[in-house]
Structure 1
Amino acid sequence: MAPLPTITTCPAELSAEFDHGVASGLYSTFFEECLGWFHRRMEDLSLKSTCLLEPALQHVDAVRYLFRTSIPTAGVFWAKSNEHSQRQCKACDEVCELLRWGEVQRRRENAYQGSSSSRVIHDSYLELDLCASVTGCDTCRIIRRAFLLEQITGNDAESLGHPDNQWPIHVILQMGSSGGSLLQLAIKSPEALHFSATIRLSNGPWPPPRDVIKGIPSLRSDLSELRRVIDDCHRNHECSSRYRWSRRNPTWLLKILTSDLVQLVEGPPTPVDYVVLSYSWGDPATMPAAEWARIKGAGTKTIDGQPVPERLNPFRIWDLPETMQDAIRISASLGLFYIWIDNVCIPKGTNWDTEASKMHEVYGNAAFTLLASSSGKATDRLLRDRLAWTHRNRVSQLRELWWLHNTQMPLDRVRFESPVSRRGWTLQEERLSPRIVYWAGQQWYWSCPECQVVEMGEPNCTSPTADEASRSYPQRFLELCRTGDEHQLHEEWLDIVEAYTLRDLVSPKDRFLAIAGLAVRFYNAKAGNGGTVITEDYLAGLWKDNFARHLAWAVATAVDSRHSLQHIAPSWSWASLPLQVRTKAKGPFTPSEHFRFIAVRHLGPARPTSFSATGLRESSTGDDDPSTDYVNRGRVIEERGRRVKAVEVRGRFRRFISEDAQQMLWDDIEWKRGAGGRPRFDFGAFPGQNVYARNRGDGRIVSKDAHSGEVVGQLDYLVRPSDHDAPQTRQTPYVPEGSEKEIVCLELGDSAMLLLVPSRKWGQPKAFRRVGVAVGYTGRKGFFYGCCTRNVVME
């Protein structure tokens, strides 16, 4: 064992350094560095016995004593043992005052529900951090860990200690009527809330504390525990037998040769266990050009269609960005020596259309997907010291009734709030993966259809069919594809739409490619039931068998038309919206008996393809039925579907606004209500009149006939200033001011309609383009009564 540093021989230097830190407003990091060294030595040497541990602890106590004696007379870092043998600093007396207040409320009213006033317990996070380190205050250690566990990425955790984030720490006691209580923590400036955290309070030490030695968490992730969880899934669960797509490996894989040496190899002919990395490349607009060039440059180049020799021969992992490097190390540490990384294993010049449509197979056949939740860009590290586990927390008891416990961050928060969740490509990577490791900054999460496990937590193993609607379930799409529940499968696709439209893409042209694997898997689920007649078809992100339902998507509020993607997708598809738009696609829906899908009327240009025994190949015809093999045909159906530009449908049809309707100001008819109330309208000042009004801020538009209820629609795009120089035939995705009476509507369901305007793009007067939707107009269900039914071409 290497000797520990003789830190007790230099008190003067330590005192001088610490005094300098206090004077400059920043505390010395020397003690944390010593403690970090100590933990790393423990991990390297696997110290397990108390006889080896005690001498090391004595050195740490010596450092703590030196810091304690160097602290100015403020006394905030002085700690004492309370009546429960808990280390407690003076700042924690503020917490006890809150608890005393809570006891008084409980005595007055047993089911009291409410919140206390706010108290400040520390002037900054750095002060809290130093208190937890120097005094060993048990409460401050729990509070410190609470803040760190709330940070999804490693960068977020480190930002707690940034000088710009040093603001007072506020605490509120929140009491529930059923007896449950929480400490709500916040680091906030007068202008903004910077960080928040929660501590659970109970009347007993639950869960029981772990063994003093075995319960010491490492500053690095517990990969031995993760390996046990993965092995248990492969041995005892049905995930592989239920969800593995085929026996094929990806076309190319990275083979891990040593700890720092890898090689690009062709996928072996027999199945191998490989890891798939799901990560965010990052936003090129927010990083230096050289950094983005390095990420892009990690891609595998080709010569004459084959990867360059530099990749086919062994090469150092240092040639790859840091997220990839650490993913390789994690895989090797878990005993898995193949990994698939998109930027490396899809060589440049490869047909991305074909590769994208095979993602259900790449992810479905993997041993697991490593989802880099802690990484905001490809140059971020996955392997770093986890600050939440710097100290060994003991169970903390204050006063007689209160025990403090850290809470686990729910998996849903990691899924929906991590940087990787904002990237378009990662949506299908998650939902096509039967087994996922979410790698967060402070701990890992495991999720498969039969079990969820959090590092340092207890497993939550529940059958996916038991109360699946109320639990976090990333594999729900795969489960519905397997069971073939057609109604729920369509609802799940609408959930995918809502999640996908919120996400960003580096290249908008990838709008359809980034969910191609999901579309193929959806089609195969519908076509794989043994039927001889398959009616389902993919139509620019929507599905024909439930087309009216899929057309009824709406934006939460109108968006800027300048970023519209109608050059990529038709107006009636959600894919035509700008990136990162909140949409509403789910909800009650009863289809109209008058609505019918007729046919696809226009396909955009593409390299025509057909199916052969070896896959997709060039062909002179692209619209023929390529195969009766539904498994492979799904890829062709998806490729054709993203080219659909115009469809013909049939349904009841009429004007949205009467010809003689008078335009009113929105503020003259809207009935103002409190926050969260449903919008109401007052037409009392306009009796017996046909009227309409438009909200230029959020895109709502209301139409009311004289003696009937109103219908409220939602336009997709905001009003833009008129372009007087543009020709009248110019196609614009928004309705110009004064053109509202051109809007017509097509019935989709019992209380759902499309809002359309005429389009001359295809040279025929019955072509229309979408400008919005009206859904849920319960006060005017007879809106289409007696209206004619006609065929309409939508583009």
Structure 2
Amino acid sequence: MLDGIPLQNLPKTFRDGIYITRGLGIRYFWIDSLCIVQDDMDDWTREAAKMADIYGNSYLTLAATGSRNATEGCLFSRSVQLRRMYDGSAEVLRRQRLQATKFHASHNGTPFTVYARNFSGQAHENFTQAGSNTRTLLAPLLSRAWCFQERMISQRVVHFHKEEMVWECGTCISCECGFLQTSSDTSASSESFREQPTKLQIAQVLQNKRTKLEAFDTWRDIIRLYSSLLLTKESDRFPALAGLAVRFCSVLNCGYLAGFLDEDIPRALLWVTTVSPDDVYRASGNESEEVPTWSWASILYRRFFRNERPFIGSAYVLQTGGKFNTDHRFRIVAVQGKPDNAYMTGSGVTLRY
């Protein structure tokens, strides 16, 4: 058993995290890849089941959002490139605070002029509903499936993006440049609620401040975002979402089956891919052992669900109005499955017409 690890022996991202934690006066710092024994399946299975609780109960989560790996750190040199703006974009310029201000100064009797403007970061595009999975070249962490659950469950997250720092918590999302200042609105209508960033939706659901139908809508949005994210092992598709599923099921008092909340199965089964059939394929071999073919997880590409309104930016719009109605001639006879550990156990559903 090691008594300690010399700081200089740790990767740069770990060292940066330690410096930040010390600067904040926080005593304990948990790093998943350091605290879980790597290449030990027993330890991984045991500890992976606890990860949602660890992130959910942490005081603060530090996200090295702009790093591709542990060697790049999370304290970056900022880009100073001015964004090209289109004609007629005065309102955009104002909102992004890009106007330059002129200062006159002198040094040792020599006068000079300084033109200054606020940093033109656009990291906020990664944290809006429509842009949640965009610009991942500058934010590699946001493309990783395991990190999605950790980010959504954490009470507070500070993102160290390539362009700026972004704050996320259950009540607001804010960025340095000031463009993104989004607050949670628990009194919002169902339609307005759906327009809030997913993390704010999840916080309201887990605090039992939204209806079941709104919670089901949020879960489908979670799957829409999550299903396009990357995994080293596709067999982790369910484990990397299990902690969030447990929390939803606890609040909603419902079951869980192969990526679906059981009370929403009649509606949730209406999933389709957003791309050409030529660009998708079904899980096979070890990838398919825990994935029934009727689950969205059986298709290794992005998916979304039919809804009362189309998803903005989706490849296909299937339904533009009306309400969803269940045909009650169909009845779910039995559902088996629970996310009681890192892997979902017992997947099956019986329907009767």
TM range (shorter): 0.7 to 0.9
Q: For the structure 1 residues 405 and 471, does the alpha-carbon distance in structure 2 shift closer, same or farther, using more than 3 Å as the test? A: farther
Q: Which amino acid aligns with 1:409?
A: Q
Which of 327, 331, 349 lines up with 1:592 in the alignment?
327
SS at match of 1:315: coil
C-alpha displacement of 1:329: 1.6
Please say if residues 511 and 575 of structure 1, whose CA atoms lie closer than 8 Å, have aligned partners that are also in contact: yes
Output the CA distance in 1 between the equivalents of 2:238 and 2:179. Answer: 39
2:141 aligned partner: 420
For the residue of structure 1 that corresponds to 2:242, the secondary structure is: helix
- CA apart distance, 1:472: 3.3
Is 2:192 the counterpart of 1:454?
no
Equivalent-residue separation in structure 2 for 1:445 and 1:476 (angstroms) = 18
Q: Using the alignment, how far apart are the partners of 2:282 and 2:56 within structure 1?
A: 38
Equivalence map 1:419-568=2 (5 Å): 419-455=140-176, 457=178, 460=181, 462-465=183-186, 466=188, 467-472=192-197, 474-483=199-208, 485-527=211-253, 536-556=254-274, 557-558=276-277, 559-561=279-281, 563-564=283-284, 565-568=287-290
The correspondence for 2:350, drawn from 637, 648, 665, is 648
Pick from 366, 370, 379: which aligns with 2:58? 366
Asked whether the 8 Å contact 1:370–1:438 carries over to 2, the reply is yes
For the 8 Å contact 1:360–1:432, the answer to whether it is kept is yes
Aligned CA distance change for structure 1 residues 475 and 562 (closer, same or farther; 3 Å)? closer
The whole-number CA distance in structure 2 between the counterparts of 1:586 and 1:337 is: 47
Inter-partner Cα distance in structure 1 for 2:291 and 2:198: 30
Measured in 1, the distance between the counterparts of 2:149 and 2:142 equals: 11
Determine the C-alpha separation between the residues in 2 that align with 1:553 and 1:637: 21
* Paired AA for residue 439 in structure 1: F
Q: In structure 2, what residue type is equivalent to 1:454?
A: C
The answer to whether the 8 A contact 1:368-1:434 is kept is yes
What's the CA shift for 1:560? 4.3
Q: Which residue of 1 aligns with 2:86?
A: none
Alignment of 1:91-490 (within 5 A): 309-310=1-2, 313-348=3-38, 349=40, 350-388=42-80, 394-395=100-101, 407-409=120-122, 411-413=124-126, 415-417=132-134, 418-455=139-176, 457=178, 460=181, 462-465=183-186, 466=188, 467-472=192-197, 474-483=199-208, 485-490=211-216
Q: Once the two structures are superposed, what CA deviation does each residue of 1:243-280 show, in whole Å capped at 9, x if it has no partner?
A: xxxxxxxxxxxxxxxxxxxxxxxxxxxxxxxxxxxxxx
Greater RCO (Cα-Cα under 8 Å, separation 6 or more): 2
Amino acid at match of 1:490: F
* Contact 1:538–1:544 (Cα < 8 Å) also in 2: yes
| 1:477–1:492 contact (8 Å) kept in structure 2 | yes
Give, in whole Å, the separation in 2 of the partners of 1:337 and 1:458.
33
From the two aligned structures, give the one with the greater strand fraction.
Answer: 1
1:541–1:641 Cα contact (<8 Å) kept:
no
Cα separation, 2, equivalents of 1:504 and 1:413 = 16
**1:36-82: CA deviations, max 9, x gaps?**
xxxxxxxxxxxxxxxxxxxxxxxxxxxxxxxxxxxxxxxxxxxxxxx
Q: Counterpart of 2:183 in 1: which secondary structure? A: coil
Calculate the aligned-residue CA RMSD, in Å. 3.0
Indicate if the aligned counterparts of 1:412 and 1:472 stay in contact, CA closer than 8 A: no
User: 2:329 corresponds to which letter in structure 1?
Assistant: H
Aligned residue number for residue 293 of structure 2: 571
Shift of 1:405: 7.6
Q: Which amino acid aligns with 1:474?
A: K
Deviation of 1:314 (Å)? 1.8
**What's the CA shift for 1:378?**
2.1
Residues 25-104 of structure 1 mapped to structure 2, 5 A cutoff: none
Q: CA deviation at 1:339?
A: 1.2
1:598 Cα offset (Å): 1.0
Whole-angstrom distance in 2 between the partners of 1:641 and 1:376: 27
- Larger Cα-atom Rg: 1
What letter is aligned with 1:597? I
How far apart, CA to CA, are the structure 1 residues paired with 2:48 and 2:339?
13
Deviations 1:278-303 (A, max 9, x none): xxxxxxxxxxxxxxxxxxxxxxxxxx
Q: What displacement does 1:433 show? A: 1.4
Q: Label 1:600 to 1:458 Cα distance change in 2 as closer, same or farther (>3 A).
A: closer
Compared CA separation, residues 453 and 547, structure 1 to 2 (3 A): closer
Output the TM-score relative to the length of structure 2: 0.72
Shift of 1:437: 0.6
Q: Which contiguous aligned blocks of 4+ residues in structure 1 show a shift greater than 6 angstroms? A: none
User: Does the residue aligned with 2:181 lie in a helix, a strand or coil?
Assistant: coil
Which whole-Å CA distance do the structure 2 matches of 1:641 and 1:510 have between them? 8
TM-score (norm 1): 0.34
Deviations 1:554-586 (A, max 9, x none): 1123244365443331101112122xx121125
Secondary structure of residue in 2 paired with 1:446? strand
Contact 1:451 1:459 survives alignment (8 Å): no
Cα distance in 1, alignment partners of residues 57 and 185 from structure 2: 20
Change (3 A) 1:439 1:380: same
Per-residue Cα deviation, 1:726-775 (whole angstroms, up to 9, x for no partner): xxxxxxxxxxxxxxxxxxxxxxxxxxxxxxxxxxxxxxxxxxxxxxxxxx
Q: Distance in 2 between matches of 1:539 and 1:639?
A: 13
Q: Cα gap change, 1:545/1:461 in structure 2, threshold over 3 Å: closer, same or farther? A: closer
With over 3 angstroms needed to count, the CA separation of the structure-2 counterparts of 1:542 and 1:570, relative to structure 1, is same
Any idea what the Cα deviations from partners look like across 1:343-369, whole Å, max 9, x if unmatched? 112234454344333333212211111
Q: Call closer, same or farther: CA 1:358–1:590 in 2, change over 3 Å.
A: farther
* Secondary structure of the structure 2 residue equivalent to 1:347: coil
Q: 1:563 to 1:473 in 2, by over 3 A?
A: closer
Q: Assess if the C-alpha contact under 8 Å between 2:45 and 2:342 holds in 1.
A: no
How far the C-alpha of 1:520 sits from its partner, in A, is: 0.9
Per the TM alignment, residue 509 of structure 1 is displaced from its structure 2 partner at its CA by 1.7
> CA separation in 2, counterparts of 1:555 and 1:359?
30
